[in-house]
Amino acid sequence: MTAFSSWRALFVREYLEHRVAFQWAPLGILTLLAISGLSAITLRRIEGLEEFPFFSAAKIFELGYLVLLALWLAYTAVTVFFYFGDAFSADRRNNAMLFWKSMPVSDAKILSNKTLSGLLFFPAIVLVVGMVSGLLFYLLVNVAAYLAPVIGFLNPLDGLASFVQVTMFGAVILLFTMMWYAPFFAWVGGLSSVFGRWSMPLAFVIPGLLAVIENISFFGQGPRGGYIWQYLAYRSNYAALNEADFELMFMNSQPFNASFYISRMVQHTDWTQMGIGLGFAVLVIWMASEYRRRRIA
């Protein structure tokens, strides 16, 4: 079996095991959103549109699509956390280990595949569902224009341009977010290889205990909350865009410009910390693979 074939088989296996959380559940949510949107329009529950500061169908579509992608990003983060809380140890509880051991691949490659699935492959599936929700919202905006003609219709070319711009921004911020939080997800996955599903609470308890021990041992000799707590607080907040950027994004009457906000994200991202985090993730995955190699016969 070639390297490409083995990688493909590994990804297919992961997809089949977790498609409910990353495919069918998002599609179910999308169906509920579609029903809710159609109900709101058909029942004429769209009062208050005249209070929108930049009253145009294009701006309503852009902001609505941005909000939808933000919600899908939050869903992805929560789902990926639970995925890593179980993915590195789930095959010990079922016959999946027989499949993994039948593959001419190492434990390091198996866990690397699981990590790439959680950080790239599954989020990409949710992003595609988010794009479908954007297309659905485009249709809803134009249907709503029949009931509120003052907003005007969003012609297909303008709608396509806005869709591409917002999608490009959403894809980049999803990628950067997954990269920034990769060490945390790897930490949860590494713990799961040892403690199973208990890794989810332990992922918070262990750093919390270390922060408490530091504060007790060196009380008053460091920054407020301690060095560990301050560092964890910094790493827990990916602040590539500030409040002014979001105000400009939502209050600007000009068409959404993805290149502008992406360049702002590139400038404001702490790439040193990004590299340190990715290096930590690689180290944790290697240690977890070594544990699996010795622990699982």
Report whether 131 contacts 69 (CB < 8 A). Answer: no
**% of residues, the chain, pLDDT over 70:** 85
pLDDT at 49 over 70: no
- How do residues 81-106 score in pLDDT, each as one tens digit? 999 998 887 776 655 555 656 666 77
Rounded mean pLDDT of 211-220?
83
More confident residue, 68 or 103: 68
| Closest C-alpha to 237, from 22, 96, 77, 114 | 77
Q: How far is CA 124 from CA 116, 218, 228, 230, in A?
A: 11, 44, 33, 32
pLDDT at 224 over 50: yes
pLDDT band at 242 (very low <50, low <70, confident <90, very high): confident
Evaluated on CA atoms 31, 34, 38, 39, the torsion sign reads positive
pLDDT at 289 over 50: yes
Length of the chain: 297
pLDDT at 166 over 90: yes
- How do residues 172-196 score in pLDDT, each as one tens digit? 999 999 999 999 999 999 999 889 8
**% of residues, the chain, pLDDT over 90:** 50
Angle (CA) 150 152 154, round 5° = 155
The model scores a pTM over 0.85: yes
Whose tokens are 């590494």? That residue is 190
pLDDT for res 294: 78
Report whether 62 contacts 166 (CB < 8 A). Answer: yes
pLDDT for res 95: 56
pLDDT for res 297: 47
pLDDT at 47 over 60: no
Residue 287 in tokens: 């240690």
pLDDT at 296 over 80: no
Residue 258 in tokens: 């993805």
Q: Which amino acid is located at 289 in the chain?
A: S
Three-state SS for the chain is CCHHHHHHHHHHHHHHHHHHHHHHHHHHHHHHHHHHHHHHHHCCCCCCHHHCCCCCHHHHHHHHHHHHHHHHHHHHHHHHHHHHHHHCCHHHCCCHHHHHHHCCCCHHHHHHHHHHHHHHHHHHHHHHHHHHHHHHHHHHHHHHHHHCHHHCCCCHHHHHHHHHHHHHHHHHHHHHHHHHCHHHHHHHHHHHHHHHHHHHHHHHHHHHHHHHHHHHHCCCCCCCCHHHHHHHHHHCCCCCCCHHHHHHHHHCCCCCCHHHHHHHHHHHCCHHHHHHHHHHHHHHHHHHHHHHHHHCC
pLDDT band at 6 (very low <50, low <70, confident <90, very high): low
Angle (CA) 4 23 154, round 5° = 110
pLDDT at 153 over 60: yes
Q: What is the mean pLDDT of the chain?
A: 86
pLDDT for res 175: 96
Rounded mean pLDDT of 5-24?
82
